[in-house]
Amino acid sequence: MSKKKSSIKSTEKLLSKITKELEKQNFKSEEELQKYLEEHFMGKEPDFNDDFVSANSDKAQDLVWDAWELEYSEDRVELALQALKLDENCADAYNLLAEDKAKNNLERLNYYLKATRAGKESIGEDFEALKGEFWGFHQTRPYMRAMDGLAHTYLHMNQIKKAIDVWQKMINLNPNDNQGVRYHLIIALLETKRYKDVERLINKYEDDASAAFLYSKAFLFFHQKSKKPMATKVLIKAMQFNPYVPLYLFGLREMPEEFPEYIGFGDESEAIEYADSSVRLWGGDKKAAAWLADIHKKNADDLDRLIIEKEKKRESR
């Protein structure tokens, strides 16, 4: 019997309900919309009409929202199964079963495949029209969650090329990449030595200053003859941005039992997430790992001071 803490999806649940409630109104101007929002939602607990949930698809999705907030997996699974009885195309119900009912990767894969098919069927003819902004619409998010789960399952089954294909499709559907799949994609591309694709991804998100991109860029330069002279400079920049990463990659700090729910750029939570995702990349490349260890050792004093400063700032908040 596994436990689960309250999900951040509760915010999405609320926004979805507000969106559907607004769709029922016939506003003639922005002023009418603003007035309605102020009267019904500003500074108060939203009170939705009893007849809000009418379609079986809405009822099914509501059951899954409720399930994600339950503490025990058995209870969550029960509600997910109820949701599928109401709507066989409830993709999030399959997503939940993949998380909580699947006993192995093969079962998990089967649930996520069902979720992607159900999600696409549920979106229907809008699928093509919504390409490019897929996370911007609530009806597409269950499908995108299913795709991400599918990619991670492929990764755990050592089918890395299939994982890459799925993540690349997600990027095409939603270039803004609200889910952050590019951070897993870039590592997978490096593992398979698809360096040209790595360069394209870095250029596509040229303003991304995350640890995943900075350390990945350093790894890339280390393996490119023309850019290797710049690799150490890029690695030091990555370490200065997030000095915690080498500590977790080399086991100098233990991974937590529960991973952080929120990730902050430059802080320890980001390092935990990146180290967990990239340990196979660095661990599978002895030369790159030795280089990382050497540069870390040479800059250890400065990086230790930086960590102390970061932790003082965190404590003072």
For residue 14, what pLDDT is reported? 58
In a domain, 161, yes or no: no
Domain of 219? 204-317
Residue 307 lies inside a defined structural domain of this protein: yes
pLDDT of residue 5: 42
- 195 lies in a domain? no
pTM above 0.75, yes or no: yes
d(Cα 57, Cα 90) in Å, to the nearest integer? 7
pLDDT in tens, 153-188: 999 999 999 999 999 999 999 999 999 999 999 999
Residue 168 lies in a domain: no
Asked if the structure places residue 258 within a domain, the reply is yes
Is residue 317 very low, low, confident or very high in pLDDT (cuts 50, 70, 90)? confident
The SS3 assignment for 289 reads: helix
User: Is the Cα torsion angle 179, 185, 186, 191 positive or negative in sign?
Assistant: positive
Say yes or no to pLDDT of 65 above 90: yes
What are 181-235's pLDDT values in tens digits?
999 999 999 999 999 999 999 999 999 999 999 999 999 999 999 999 999 999 9
Cβ contacts of residue 172 below 8 Å, gap of 6+? 131
In the predicted structure, residue 293 carries a pLDDT above the cut 80: yes
Does 2 score more than 50 pLDDT?
no
Q: In this predicted structure, which of 52-61, 86-95, 101-110, 265-274 has the lowest mean pLDDT? A: 52-61
Between CA 76 and CA 12 the distance in angstroms is: 18
Q: Quick one: pLDDT band at residue 314, thresholds 50, 70, 90?
A: confident
Do the beta carbons of residue 277 and residue 264 sit within 8 Å?
no
Residue 70 lies in a domain: no
- Give the total number of structural domains in the chain: 1
In Å, how far are 11, 26, 176 from 152, measured between CA atoms? 24, 42, 20
pLDDT of residue 45: 59
**CA-based nearest residue to 282, from 292, 271, 296, 297:** 292
pLDDT in tens, 18-62: 656 655 666 666 776 666 666 666 665 555 554 555 689 999 999
Residues across the chain: 317
- The band of 247, judged by pLDDT with boundaries at 50, 70 and 90, is very high
Does 84 fall in a domain? no
What single-letter amino acid sits at 223? H
Residue matched to tokens 């809000």: 52
The per-residue pLDDT for range 108-161, each reduced to its tens digit, is 999 999 999 999 999 999 999 999 999 989 899 999 999 999 999 999 999 999
Q: Is residue 247 in a domain?
A: yes
